[in-house]
Amino acid sequence: MKYLVESPHTQAECLKELEGVAAKGGDVLGKFSWGCMAGEHVGYAILEAKDETEARSIVPEIVRGKARVHPVSTFTPRDVEKFHHA
């Protein structure tokens, strides 16, 4: 399954959040995009995971309880066309 993970944090938690994700490795840090520089203290990642618990585990424990995890999918033009006939 594919998940969108949102990791909101305060400005005070920001550096610890970044350090926690970076500690998981550059590949994990590279999955995230951050709104922090624009004043929106949220990290966003789209990743493959077996379930919501595994997807949530990418978020550092200090803010994991605030994380939001959404299952997401992609569609092809053919999928969209099929929706018209469903």
Distance CA(10)–CA(58), nearest Å, equals 18
Q: What is the pLDDT of residue 85?
A: 85
Task: Indicate the number of domains in the chain.
Answer: 1
Condensed to tens digits (0 to 9), the pLDDT of residues 22-53 reads 999 999 999 999 999 999 999 999 999 999 99
13 has a pLDDT exceeding 90: yes
Which CATH number covers residue 29?
3.30.70
Provide the token pair at 11.
Answer: 């400005």
- 28 is in which domain, residue-wise? 2-84
Nearest 5°: the CA angle 32, 63, 10 is: 85
Strand ranges inside the chain, DSSP E: 2-8, 32-34, 42-48, 68-72
Give the β-pairing of 68-72 and 42-48: unpaired
pTM value is 0.88
Nearest to 60 by CA among 29, 26, 27: 29
